[in-house]
Amino acid sequence: MTIWLANYLAGVCQKKTVILEMNNHGDFQRIGRFCGGLTSKKNFYQILDVDYYSQANAKNFAECLNGDYHHILVDYGEITEQNLYDCTRCNRKIIVGSLSEWQAEAFLEFAASEKKRDTSWNYAAAFGSEQTRKQIEKCFHIRIWRIPGSVDAFTINRNDINFFSEFFRN
């Protein structure tokens, strides 16, 4: 979702965008190697019009805040107490999860633990039944955006544009 959103912001909206991978999973480093975007900076690279920091740290974050970026996207990887604390500083927060029976636990735990949510929190899910999504929305009084299927996070099509346009309108 983070890469897909970044490509929408950079490619369609023409906004200078960076993604910070604020976890130790190493996924962004593998993407950089695979896509040939690595630069002389150990954890920085570019693919298309998006800048990436793999396994970013506070120094990288500060550099981006002091830079000329329109959008700084942070991928925390998973919901942890520290990540939630760090996330509160963001203008818009998106909790992305799955509503599939075998993957919904963390998503539901977070929704249940948050009694007061400000409007900057957003919830989105790519998988799971429509019935489950509606039940969770009703139970927790939240909106869960249905993420449409995308075969390539680096390609933005008309359906993607429609989804993100509506998502950012709300």
Q: According to the model, what pLDDT value does residue 100 have? A: 75
**Residue 89 corresponds to which tokens in the numbers above?**
């500083």
pLDDT, average across residues 87-97: 77
Q: According to the model, what pLDDT value does residue 19 have? A: 93
Regarding pTM above 0.75, the answer is yes
- Phi-psi label, residue 18: left if phi above 0, alpha if psi -120 to 50, beta otherwise: beta
Taking Cα atoms as reference points, which of 83, 96, 99, 17 lies closest to residue 50? 17
Instruction: Name the band, by pLDDT with cuts 50, 70 and 90, for residue 127.
Output: confident
The domain spans of the chain are 1-77, 78-170
Integer Cα distance of 72 and 6 in angstroms: 9
Q: According to the model, what pLDDT value does residue 70 have? A: 94
